């Protein structure tokens, strides 16, 4: 397993750009296609702990499902997010690159260069 992991959606242009950026820098991360292999609540909580802005930075608020679930009117408590994101992986912001105890969301893709 690579020391880098990427929470990846190959249909997302930012995710593809971030993966290409890593590869251009000689990094072949372990690719986790989270829509095919959903993350558990425990995995999501672990990743959130590695992000500077915590779990709420992992949430795709512009995803139609966010509004459909009524989350714009009644956002859940921070402790509820891991289970909610595990049940609805479309709500997870991507890509997320993880290295050791640090993680960055690749928006913009260059943000992940902080991990190199």
Distance (Å) of CA 48 to CA 14, 26, 45, 70, 102: 20, 26, 5, 22, 10
Terminus-to-terminus CA distance in the chain, angstroms?
Answer: 17
Q: Which of 1, 4, 6, 12 is catalytic?
A: 12
Residue with tokens 């499902």: 65
- Does the annotation count 12 as an active-site position? yes
Catalytic residues, which ones? 12
């Amino acid at each position: 397993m690579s020391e880098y992991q990427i929470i990846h959606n190959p249909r997302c242009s930012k995710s593809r750009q971030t993966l290409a950026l890593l590869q251009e820098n000689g990094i072949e991360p372990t690719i986790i296609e989270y829509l095919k292999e959903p993350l558990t609540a425990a995995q999501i909580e672990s990743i959130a702990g590695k992000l500077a802005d915590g779990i709420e930075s992992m949430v795709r608020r512009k995803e139609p499902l966010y509004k459909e679930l009524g989350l714009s009117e009644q956002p859940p408590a921070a402790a509820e997010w891991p289970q909610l994101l595990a049940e609805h992986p479309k709500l997870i912001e991507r890509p997320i690159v993880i290295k050791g105890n640090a993680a960055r969301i690749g928006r913009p893709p260059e943000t992940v260069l902080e991990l190199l």
